[in-house]
Structure formats: C-alpha cells, structure tokens
Amino acid sequence: MSFPDIRPRRLRRTPAIRRLVEETRIAPSELVLPMFLREGLTEPKPISSMPGVVQHTRESLLKAAHDAVSAGVGGLMLFGVPEDANKDETGSAGLDPEGILNVGLRDLRREFGDATVVMGDLCLDEFTSHGHCGVLAADGSVDNDATLEIYAEMAVAQAEAGAHMVGPSGMMDGQIGVVRRALDKAGHQDIGILAYSAKYAGAFYGPFREAVESTLQGDRRQYQQDPPNLREALREVDLDVAEGADIVMVKPALAYLDVIAAIRERVTVPVAAYQVSGEYAMVEAAAANGWIDRERVILESLTSIKRAGAQITLTYWASEVAGLLRG
C-alpha cells in the first residue's frame, strides 16, 4: 500500500459525503430571538449600531414575532425599554403590570399561547435611572440583597403577564434561589428559569446600550464576571443549578467557547449561549464593508457555539437563520 495509508480527505470529497459525516447541525428550534419593545414609539426605530435590529412598537413586535415563529424559531426573549420619564432609582416600571416589558409579555402570550416560548429579561438596568442592574446602596455600589427583593417581585409580575420563563441577568448572588421561591410561593411553580449564570463584564455589550438607551455610567465589574476567569463560571453555574436554574447560559458566546464547553461537561441541564450585540455588530460591519461573506460567517459562528456545547443560542439573526436553514 502506498503512503499515506489513512486518508481523512476521503470524507471531505463531495458535498454529499461531507453532509453524511457532519457532526454538528444547527436547527431553527434551538435559536431564540431577543427583541426590544420601546414604550411610546409610533413606528419601529432602527438601532444604528445593530443594522437590521429595531426597537419595536407593540404592533411591530407582534409582526416580527410572527415572522420568527413561522420560520421555526424556538423562543422569544423580550427586553422592555421604558420612556425616560418612567425610569427611577429602583426600576419600579419593571414591576408594574402596565410597565412596557409586562405589557409586551402579555401581548406575546396572548398572541401565541403555548406555540412558542415567551421569555422576559429579568433585570433592572433598563428601568433604573442610573442604568445599573440593581438598586444602589448609599456608597453607590449595587446592593445585592435589596435588589433580590425586587427581582422576586419582578419575576412574579412577568409570570403573571404570561412569560413561560424568566431570564435573571443581573448577576446578583442568590438571584436564582430567590426568584424560584417567589415564583413557587405565588403558585408559578411551572414557570422556568433561564439563568444567565456566567455573564462576563466584557466590552461586547456596547451596541445593546444603544438598543435599550442605557443611562449607565461606569461599568458592571462589581457584579458581572471578570473575563479571565473560567473556574469562577463553574462556581456560578453550580450555585445556579443548586438554586433551581432550569437552563444555564453563558454570555457572550464566541469569545467564551471554552466556558460553554466546560459547563456542558459539568451539568445535565440544558446549556444556552447568548451571541450578544457586539458579536452581531462586528459581523454586520465587516460584511457591510465587503470584508467577509456575511451568511457564511453567521452560520459558522452559530455552528461553533453549538459545537462547543450550547444546545440553545440567543441570536439577533434567529429569524433569518431559521429561514436559511429551511431553505
């Protein structure tokens, strides 16, 4: 026999062979579309740093949600953006049943029933005048335990509005346990928790700040994780699972594939990843310059996130990709 004896290239020779041996395949049902609902808009408003993504009106939210659901997208994650006048020190508009996020959750649930999975972002940053994910202590730091009390009420308000799942994203210690107990106590034992367990205080959330008109000064490094740390993410995940998380999530996605893989090895609950605004913006910007093949990069990035171990991915491209996958 002539050298080489073993030829891996045989399995790459034709598209049909490659398809046969493909190890990772993404499907529409595992994609979740994050959506922004802005109070007081009369028409959808483009987000300049996220070309193709808008702040929705109540009407356009339902229309875009229909497009997503009919393309086969697996779920919707809603963010509410109140008018400036409705932001305050404690983020009370997040608890108000008539606050924009709860209004949107109610609209989505009424429209879709159980035909999709309706999720609400459970955090205060969109609702506080200072833009932090919790309430502030006298020294200006975010007060963990005072914030937990508010998250508990906010979770119940979202469940009552119709969310199937809540997504605590504030990285307060104990948030999953507090939310779980509050939901149970209010009779919402069947409402799930998608825990943002390993959420890093990196620089990839830039465009999201525009999307939610964030008022934040400074950063979130006192509560979100430090990018160099992996074992700390495992600790956060262990706590969240012990406190009752139904799904754990890593965020951002592409720069944290090692974290996704390590968590996937460790837990038996589903692992999700959030392909965040900065990841979206980089690809769109490069594609707009003609520097990369937009569709291929989008599919490659989502495939990589799944290959690393995320079985669910939140992505602003969810509807488009679902359409591409269905041909």
Residue 12, judged by CB atoms within 10 A of its CB (0-12, 13-18, 19+), counts as exposed
Concerning whether 199 is annotated as a catalytic residue, the answer is yes
| Shortest Å distance, C-beta 157 to ligand PBG | 16
Binding mask 115-154 for ligand PBG (x = CB under 6 A): ------x-x-x-------x---------------------
- DSSP 8-state code for residue 135: P
- How far apart CA 17 and CA 14 sit, in angstroms, is 5
Residue 46, judged by CB atoms within 10 A of its CB (0-12, 13-18, 19+), counts as exposed
Residue position matching structure tokens 């028409």: 43
Concerning whether 185 is annotated as a catalytic residue, the answer is no
| Shortest Å distance, C-beta 15 to ligand PBG | 34
| Shortest Å distance, C-beta 186 to ligand PBG | 22
Do the Cβ atoms of 106 and 169 come closer than 8 Å? Answer: no
Q: Which residue among 63, 185, 251, 306 is the active-site one? A: 251
Nearest Cα to Cα of residue 280 among 309, 251, 306, 260: 251
Q: Which of residues 230-289 bind ligand PBG (CB under 6 A)?
A: 276-277
Which of 56, 106, 188, 220 lies at the binding interface for ligand PBG (CB under 6 A)? 220
- DSSP 8-state code for residue 285: H
Nearer to ligand PBG, 8 or 228 (CB): 228
Nearer to ligand PBG, 266 or 304 (CB): 304
Q: Secondary structure of the chain: what % helix, strand, coil (to 5)?
A: 45, 15, 40
Q: Which residues are CB-contacts of 162 (< 8 A; sequence separation ≥ 6)? A: 105, 106, 108, 109, 110, 118
Binding mask 79-118 for ligand PBG (x = CB under 6 A): ----------------------------------------
Q: Which of residues 190-219 bind ligand PBG (CB under 6 A)?
A: 205, 208
Considering CB under 6 A, how many residues would be counted as binding ligand PBG?
Answer: 10
Binding site for ligand PBG (CB under 6 A): 121, 123, 125, 133, 169, 205, 208, 220, 276-277
